Amino acid sequence: MRAALWLVGLFAAAVALALFAGDNQGTVTIFWPPHRVDLSANLVLVCLVLVFVLIYAALRALAAVLELPRQARRWRAQQRERAANAQLLDSMVQLSAGRYLRARKAAEDALAREQSMASSGERLPQGATVRALAHLSVAASAHSLQDHALRDSHLQQALEAAAGGAAPQELREGILMRAARWALDDHDPSASLNWLEGLPQGASRRTLALRIKLKAARQARQSSAALETARLLAKHRAFSPDAARSLLRSLASELIDTARDPAQLKAIWASLDPNERAMPELALRAAQRMMTLGGESGVVREWLQPVWEQMLALPEGFAEAHGARLIRVLEAGLDQDEPGERDWLARIEAAQQANPRDPTLQYLAGMACLQRQLWGRAHLLLSQAARQLRDGDLRRSAWRALAELAEQKGDVAAASDAWKRAAQG
């Protein structure tokens, strides 16, 4: 389309020129005493156009000649810039290949070229970025070679180069994250956390920063901070659902184990998310920890009630090991007369009657009857449970209880047989 328009315009110009010049009878007279020169108006116009073109071409040629020194300087600067960038790229390639000495030498050459250009007044547009990346490459090579003094020196220079307004903010954030990772490699979690504190609020919530913070908190044994960081990572879908659940369960278990008194354990339990408190492993661990610390059995039973209901609702999907741990914890609180205990005894009896063939419920109901001195009922339930229990601890406990009941009755043979079975496990 553009070519067609140019062609139409050219034809229009030709037509206009033919109409104007074909019938133009005008003349131009030049008086140069004692001479007189008569020229055609068309010839004069053509000469003027030619003179304008010649003057324009001469001026362009003069400008090009005067521009040559500046273009030569710019070409030399471009060659130096390309050489510095090539050295920096070579340093990164050598670093990724594990050739740390060559990477450090290439990065130092890039620094030398950049400093030479700066001293000569030919500053790179991205000079601060190139300088920071070169220092970071030297620091990375020194870290891999365990040269901590050289690493720290160039790391500080990289931060200084990235602190200026010419370098992007993301570069400084990347340097801080790299420094935090190196501190983790040195098993210095406090230094790693200090590096991360220098990040802006938005950058500190990125997945990479959160992963570093999680590792640092775990190394520093800061279970609470590690758990909070793991929750953010799970929210950002940094892990698969199963891996996130396993990690949260592990960190919450570590946090529960740090409790030194019942009040602290209650505060830790209250700080957990509802989904975490619904995990059978955590509820059982917290309950056992509370019993170890001498806490109230009522609080333990309150924490275990969701687990109890889950076991009764889905017996097939409930882990057998969790069921055995639940029974042992509930059994430990049967001999304590506290508010709400009768409600639990009613729950146990109702559950056993609803599932008469469940050996764990038979065992728990039998131990409850034993604590209430209902010898006959206890003997019946424990006898049925002892032959079917799979958990070794519960089975031995059931046989011991039967042996003690037999001794109370004076049945030496039955007591001896029960003790023998208890010893066999």
Give the chain's radius of gyration (CA, Å): 44
pTM for this entry: 0.72
Q: What is the pLDDT of residue 339?
A: 56
Which class is 168-254 in CATH?
A: mainly alpha
Q: How far apart are CA 285 and CA 86, in angstroms?
A: 58
Every domain of the chain and the residues it spans: 80-117+127-166, 168-254, 277-425
CATH number of 80-117+127-166: 1.25.40
pLDDT in tens, 293-332: 888 878 888 888 888 888 888 777 777 787 788 888 887 7
Contact 154, 189 (CB under 8 A): no
Kindly report the backbone phi and psi dihedral angles of residue 120, in degrees, each rounded to the nearest multiple of 5, phi listed first: -85, 0
pLDDT of 340 above 80: no
Dihedral sign for Cα 308, 309, 315, 316, please: negative
What is the DSSP secondary-structure string of 212-280?
Answer: HHHHHHHHTT-HHHHHHHHHHHHHTT-S-HHHHHHHHHHHHHHHHHT--SHHHHHHHHHHS-HHHHT-H
> Is it true that 80-117+127-166 and 168-254 share their CATH fold?
yes
Mean pLDDT of 273-285: 88
pLDDT of 384 above 60: yes
1, two tokens: 């389309």
Q: What is the pLDDT of residue 19?
A: 64
Q: Which fold has domain 277-425?
A: 1.25.40
- Residue 32's CB is within 10 A of a number of other CB atoms, namely 7
Count Cα neighbours of 85 within 13 Å in the Cβ-side half-sphere: 11
- How far lies 18's CA from each of 7, 22, 158, in Å? 17, 5, 72
pLDDT in tens, 84-140: 888 989 999 999 999 999 999 999 998 888 888 777 777 777 778 888 999 999 999
For residue 317, what is the DSSP state?
T
Is residue 147 classed as helix, strand or coil in its secondary structure?
coil
